[in-house]
Amino acid sequence: MNNEMWAKLHGATVHFPIALILCSGVMDASGFCWPGLATRRGLNVAGYWTLMLGALGTVPAVVSGLVMSNGVMLGHDAMRFHHLFVWPAFALIVGLAVWRALAGDFATRKPPAGYLATVGLATALIMGAGYWGGEMMLGH
Amino acid sequence: MNNLDESRPRPASPAGGKSIALAILAAALALASAFGLSMGLRRVESQTSHQQPTPEVWFESPTPTSPALVAQGRTLFLASCAHCHGADARGDEGPDLHDVRVSDRYIAHLITHGIPHEMPSFAKKHGAADITALTAYLRSLGNGSAFYCLVVRLRHGARWTATRSTSMSLMKTNGTRMPPRP
């Protein structure tokens, strides 16, 4: 397969983790802000599983990105900025997912504020990565 | 019922050190795997010549070469090409240029026209003389296939091929100074 095909696959795969992790954060945050909500438990269960799926989704996104660039970890200019956001985001998301899976019966429990803050940080990093990814595509 | 999960005994320490340490370990592992994949891909990339060997290399009249030309070509290479192809031409962002299997005409075309989105054009920077030197340098890094060597040897005589492939070692024996590495 040529790089162009991998570039398309990258575009096709990155949006799943972006959307899932953003949704996960929003649902957990609502459960956190309104603990009395009747659907609170359901929100946290959904937050848990969207995070897991999002974390799984980072794997094809990262692999297709690396293959399309022939294994560039940093690169230059827009590519460099893209990666400076991507790698911390990737590490955070994997870390968050593993922590949440390990930290006991958390699917139905509202996660602590520190967790939500970290998801917020990961989301901000993802946005930065997306912004520079777009810059790369538009080209200058 | 709704509060069942809340009233169940909490796991020893949900936010405890062990889970956090494992999470950090997993994050580090994920980054390390990405890095490993990257190294593997770069290796494959730098070992594959992008162009198929062109039969043209067997028929074209070869670019002249000499240890002095090779040395000159290396200087030009370090100035214009090394930041992509590596100071030793073993590949970096651009591919490894040892044993390239493309023709001299193709190399000259590449230097003057570049490759869209991949390699810039050097039409303004390097004229015919520079291209000759650069080609001599690239050829000194290896002649490509053994078959190509044989054909060139038959057509141009052994002496020429010997100069072409051993210019680097000749440079040392002649006392021609190699330009220092950047």
Nearest to A99 among B20, B31, B38 (CB): B20
Q: What is the pLDDT of residues B69-87, one digit of tens each?
A: 889 999 999 999 999 999 9
pLDDT at B148: 55
Cβ of A67 within 8 Å of Cβ of B38? The answer is: no
* Residues in chain B within 8 Å Cβ distance of A72: 38, 42, 93
* Residues in chain B within 8 Å Cβ distance of A92: 27
Backbone dihedral angles phi then psi of residue B119, each to the nearest 5 degrees: -140, 135
Q: What is the pLDDT of residues B150-182, one digit of tens each?
A: 655 565 555 444 444 443 333 333 333 333 333
Least confident segment among A117-131, B41-55, B94-108, B133-147:
B41-55
Spans of chain A below 50 pLDDT: 1
Helical packing angle, A77-102 and B17-47, nearest 10°: 140
Cβ of A99 within 8 Å of Cβ of B31? The answer is: no
Nearest CA distance, A93 vs chain B (angstrom): 8
Cβ of B93 within 8 Å of Cβ of A72? The answer is: yes
For chain A, the domain total comes to: 1
Burial grade of A1 (CB within 10 A; 0-12, 13-18, 19 or more): exposed
CATH number of the domain that A103 lies in? 1.20.120
Cβ of A41 within 8 Å of Cβ of B45? The answer is: no
Q: Are A44 and A107 in contact (CB under 8 A)?
A: yes
Contacts of B94 (CB under 8 A, 6+ apart): B81, B84, B85, B86, B118, B119
Say if residue B57's pLDDT is above 60: yes
Residue boundaries of the structural domains of chain B? 16-48, 55-174
Cβ of A108 within 8 Å of Cβ of B40? The answer is: no
Cβ of B19 within 8 Å of Cβ of A103? The answer is: yes
Q: Are B136 and B70 in contact (CB under 8 A)?
A: yes
Residue ranges of the alpha helices (H) in B121-157?
128-140, 146-156
Query: pTM of the entire structure?
Result: 0.56
- The label of the residue with tokens 């504020």 reads A113
Cβ of B30 within 8 Å of Cβ of A73? The answer is: no
Dig out the tokens for A77 from the structure: 């200019």
- The label of the residue with tokens 């359901």 reads A42
Class of domain B55-174: mainly alpha
Q: Residue B119 in 3-state DSSP?
A: strand
Q: How far apart are CA A25 and CA A93, in angstroms?
A: 11
Q: What mean pLDDT comes out for the span B29-52?
A: 76
Per-residue exposure over B38-60, b if at least 16 CB sit within 10 Å of its own CB, e if not:
beebbeebbeeeeeebeeebbee
Q: Are B164 and B140 in contact (CB under 8 A)?
A: yes
Q: Which structural domain, as residue segments, surrounds residue A80?
A: 3-138
pLDDT at B33: 92
The CB-side HSE value for B16 (13 A sphere, CA atoms) comes to: 9
Looking at residue B52, its amino acid is: Q
* Residues in chain A within 8 Å Cβ distance of B31: 87, 90-91
Cβ of A71 within 8 Å of Cβ of B28? The answer is: no
Q: What is the pLDDT of residues B128-140, one digit of tens each?
A: 999 999 998 988 8
Nearest to B34 among A90, A103, A104 (CB): A90
Say if residue B1's pLDDT is above 50: no
Greater confidence, B94 or B133? Answer: B133
Q: Mutate which of A70, A90, A105, A119 to disrupt the B interface (most B C-beta within 10 Å)?
A: A70
Q: What mean pLDDT comes out for the span B95-119?
A: 84
pLDDT at A5: 82
Residue ranges of the alpha helices (H) in A2-39?
3-33
